[in-house]
Structure 1
Amino acid sequence: MPLHILIIVENLPVPLDYRVWLIAKTLRDNGCKVSIISPAADKYPAGEFEIEGITVYRHNLPDAGSLLQYLWEYTVALWKEFRLSVKIFRKNKFKVIHACNPPDLIWSIGLFWKLFGVKFIYDHHDLSPEILLAKIGDCQSIYRGFNNKEKMPALRKPKSIVHRFAYKLLLINERISHKFANAVLVTNESFRKIALVRNKCKSNKIFVVRTGPQLAELPKVNFQQNITNDIPKIAYVGVMAKQDGVDVLLKSTAYAVKSLDKKFQLILMGGGPQFDNLIALAHKLGINKYVTFKGFIPRKEMLDELIKCSLGVTPDLSGPMNDFSTMLKVQDYMACGLPQVMFDLQENKFTAGESALYAKSGDEKEFANKIIKLIENYDLRKKLGGIARERVEKLTWENSGSRNLLKAYEFI
């Protein structure tokens, strides 16, 4: 009888959540039965669905904006996730719960099912305490990275008492998630250090499972096409929240428009809480005719669009969360043979290496000048694009993610 695994995710619907879907398909291909509980969203309605041999259960959630609304959302989510887990267990007993954060509350469901002999895997996607710091915007990292003694970076505490309480609560739940997990999956070495140092996790149960494009989806790249476009296209892919720096990108674009004689087009693929504000900002800056907002589009369509572009941009700013996160868009640009401009964040630099140009975080003018340099220099674009494509083939899901995922399941 195949091993039945229940994956619980709250942040994004499935199969839109790329990492979760990669993990589910890998487990399915290795003989496991996989069920997934996820939220519903536009184009991903609530209900029970069979998708590519994986059973997906989606549930509705209330909208959240304020701290109290988030607390209500998490309470509703936990209740619905628990009820669905009971329903699934009655149908076909699962042996593993694979919990994907944020938020770091699913340990409570995992702890209950441990009473019935179910193993618990904690998949640490995002740093919830740092997400809070990024959203409230009243504190920044004092320095980035880890020092020689592997201590955590110092962070200024939130100014508000309410935010301090919420921050402490998030830290506690993160540590509990690590403590009760039979295995912990992390997305990069920075997260591994956080598991070891901040959460006192045993090193033998931590597995670095990097998210990357699949070998099969790496597009055939026509460097002549995406480098010699008459009107260069600049691509941005991803979420549009406060910490993603898309507002900085638009201001850099405005500077580049004034400085360049050559026309270009900025293509924005994605969405988020700042989407409408960013459209308004593009109009305010007078660059709306140079910018196209496409919203979220299917992954294959997104990759097809990237192939037509000349370069990619990753404007995520240095901060408590971004300094330690690996951005999937960085690898997507590389998969399509695109050079890119980004701020000098440590995990971005680890991923892109010499295939990108780097600007000091938050420096709109320097970011714009790097874009201009690539637009004006055909040979440089071709060189960096070639490095990007060669490098990303070593960072694919098969080469950097799935192997350690399976090792984690063997461990438990």
Structure 2
Amino acid sequence: MSLSLPLPARKDRPPHCVIIVENLPVPFDRRVWQEANALKEAGWDVSVICPKNEQHPASYEEINGIAIHRHALPLEARGKLGFIFEYACALFHETRLLAKIALTRGFDVVQGCNPPDLIFLVAAPYKLLGKKYVFDHHDLCPELYAAKYERHGFFHRLLLLAEKYTFRTADKVISANDTYRDIAIARGGKNPGDVTTVYSVPDRQKLRRVAPDAVLKADAKVILGYVGIIADQDGVDHLVRMMHHIVHEEGRQGVRAVVVGDGPALASVQALASTLGVAEHVVFTGYLRGEKLLAALSSFDIGIIPDPVNEYNDKISMNKVFEYSALGIPSVSYDLSETHGLLGDAGSYAPNATPHGLAEAALPLIDDETHRRSMGARAGKLAEEKFNWSSEAEKYVAAYAGLVKQRAYA
């Protein structure tokens, strides 16, 4: 069998980008999947390297003409040593699969999506062969570490070093918001012309309202919803404590919380719900896809963003902001800088950084349906005017212009 080498690039095909993401499988990772499809629609060949999970167990499949290569991970890490082991395994498989793609199809660009800020190690050897590296800056890893472990120290310095070399290796940086862009320029030393902000807004043609899930609704008067990963830093424990305050201290009846998603902290927050006596008021659905996901989201009366106040969450753009708003669901959150900047007066904010404060912000929406509908309409209008994936996709594709020399292909 003849093999095509990674250099020189073949002239009989479109340019080819390989996207590497470690923390979520594709197409479950919405941002990565939308980016992959945007490049495909712009005439690129696209491959993705990502992990497997129970919902996406296939080692290889092709969807929408995008080749998806998946690898196993031995565990879903929580502690420091667990993360080191997970990342080492991921880097091994990413290196193996990228070499396979290089030898069988060739490629022109590698896009690395953090966390971790280590994927540049996989791409760096190919830069010696003229390939380009694009860093898709999903997370602030040093800030995430500081928020999770409440310290800086040795590992924090290592993360800053990894971030530094990631920026240095990258030919282009795609920032998840303007705060990240500022960090890429100030802390990463990038030329402003090489950094493009692309917000993770959903494609509103795919995220739409459908008939609510009748089982989730059941006899509930108001559904408080959460969608996303359930990890230690995501604050689902704050949602559970908020429910304790609403049900047991404020005495509200007919209020149910629905948590859509999964993650390493699921068992602990389920145990917390039992300990606080709100297990019957909190439903955990696990991962949902397709129409089941849309039906669950369409059941939400209020969207909860329980991510706690810290230096990490203050800077990130929550996907939940965009998703709730696209469906006309009013949001309740802590008063985080980036979240407040996105939602403005379309959001409701806790008066203090505690689950009690989160409950206080939710109660006016729980008690007043007219107010709830008004805030939902305001969020929907905001999404229609500002949270538009087609414009974000244009910026994303434009960032790739010039990375690969134009060439004729059949």
TM-score after normalising by structure 2: 0.89
DSSP-derived class of the 1:50 partner: strand
User: How far has the Cα of 1:230 moved from its partner?
Assistant: 6.1
Matched with 1:89 is 102
Q: What's the counterpart of residue 214 of structure 1?
A: 203
Name which of 242, 261, 264 aligns with 2:255.
264
Residue in structure 1 matching 2:188, options 182, 190, 199: 199
Q: Which of 29, 35, 46 is equivalent to 1:17? A: 29
Structure 1 residue identity aligned to 2:144: I
Matched, 1:250 2:262: no
- Displacement of 1:221: 7.5
Q: Distance in 2 between matches of 1:245 and 1:218?
A: 24
Q: How many residue pairs were aligned?
A: 386
8 A contact 1:246–1:316 mirrored in 2? yes
* Cα pair 1:46 1:60 within 8 Å, conserved: no
* Residue 69 (structure 1) aligned with residue 77 (structure 2): no
Change (3 A) 1:399 1:54: closer
| 1:166-245 alignment, distance < 5 Å | 166-220=155-209, 231-245=221-235
Could you tell me which residue of structure 2 aligns to residue 379 of structure 1?
370
Q: Aligned partners of 1:78, 1:9: CA distance in 2, in Å?
A: 10
Task: Name the residue aligned to 1:153.
Answer: none
Structure 1 distance, partners of 2:148, 2:211, is: 40
Deviation at residue 222 of structure 1 after TM alignment: 8.9
Q: CA 1:185 to 1:317, structure 2 compared with 1: closer, same or farther past 3 Å? A: same
Q: Secondary structure at the match of 1:217?
A: coil
2:139 counterpart of 1:126? yes
The equivalent residue for 2:316 is 325
| 8 Å Cα contact 2:22/2:116 also seen in 1 | yes
* Equivalent residue letter for 1:232: V
Task: Say if 1:336 and 1:345 are closer, same or farther in 2 by CA, change over 3 A.
Answer: same
- SS of 2:221's partner is coil
TM-score (norm. length: structure 1): 0.89
In 2, Cα distance between the equivalents of 1:198 and 1:361? 31
* Counterpart residue type for residue 316 of structure 2: S
Question: Which residue in the other structure is 1:337 paired with?
Answer: 328
1:300-348 CA distance string (max 9 Å, x none): 4223222222111101111121111111112111111111211000111
Match of 2:361 in 1: 370
**Amino acid aligned to 2:122:** I
Higher deviation after alignment, 34-43 or 357-366: 357-366
| Change over 3 Å in CA distance of 1:35–1:289 after alignment to 2 | same
Q: Distance in 1 between matches of 2:316 and 2:138?
A: 9
Shift of 1:251: 1.2
State the secondary structure of the residue aligned to 1:7.
strand
Q: Report the identity percentage.
A: 35
Q: 1:348 is aligned with what amino acid? A: T
Is residue 289 from structure 1 mapped to residue 280 from structure 2 by the alignment?
yes
* Counterparts of 2:78 and 2:368, CA distance in 1: 44
SS across alignment from 2:25: coil
Deviation at 1:400, TM superposition (A): 4.4
| CA shift for structure 1 position 134 | 2.2
Q: What is the one-letter code of the residue matched to 1:383?
A: S
> 1:138-184 CA distances to partner (integer Å, 9 max, x unpaired)?
24xxxxxxxxxxxxxxxxxx3xxxxx221111101111111121100
Residue 398 (structure 1) shift: 2.7
Cα distance change of structure 1 residues 335 and 193 upon mapping to structure 2, 3 Å threshold: same
Measured after TM superposition, the shift of residue 117 of structure 1 is 1.2
> What one-letter code is carried by the residue in structure 2 that aligns with 1:294?
T
Alpha-carbon distance, 1:265 to partner: 0.9
SS at match of 1:323: coil
- 2: distance between equivalents of 1:361 and 1:268? 23
Please tell me whether residue 356 in structure 1 is matched to residue 351 in structure 2: no
Moved over 4 A (4+): 220-223
What's the counterpart of residue 143 of structure 1? none
For residue 75 of structure 1, report the CA deviation from its aligned partner.
2.1
- Aligned residue number for residue 9 of structure 2: none
RMSD over aligned Cα atoms:
2.1
AA partner of residue 98 (structure 2)? S
Q: Distance in 1 between matches of 2:239 and 2:332?
A: 10
Q: Over residues 101-148 of structure 1, what are the superposed CA-to-partner deviations in whole Å (9 max), with x where a residue is unaligned? A: 111111122211011111110111001112212221x24xxxxxxxxx
- Unpaired stretches in structure 2, ≥5 consecutive residues: 1-12, 404-410
Q: Residues 211 and 397 of structure 1 are in contact (CA less than 8 Å); yes or no, is this contact kept in structure 2?
A: no
Give the residue type in structure 2 aligned to 1:211: S
8 Å Cα contact 1:50/1:56 also seen in 2: yes
Residue-by-residue CA offset, 1:209-248 (whole Å, 9 max, x unaligned): 111111312424899x9x9x96111111112222211112
Partner of 1:32: 44
Counterparts of 1:32 and 1:215, CA distance in 2 = 23
Amino acid at match of 2:305: T
Deviation at 1:262, TM superposition (A): 3.5
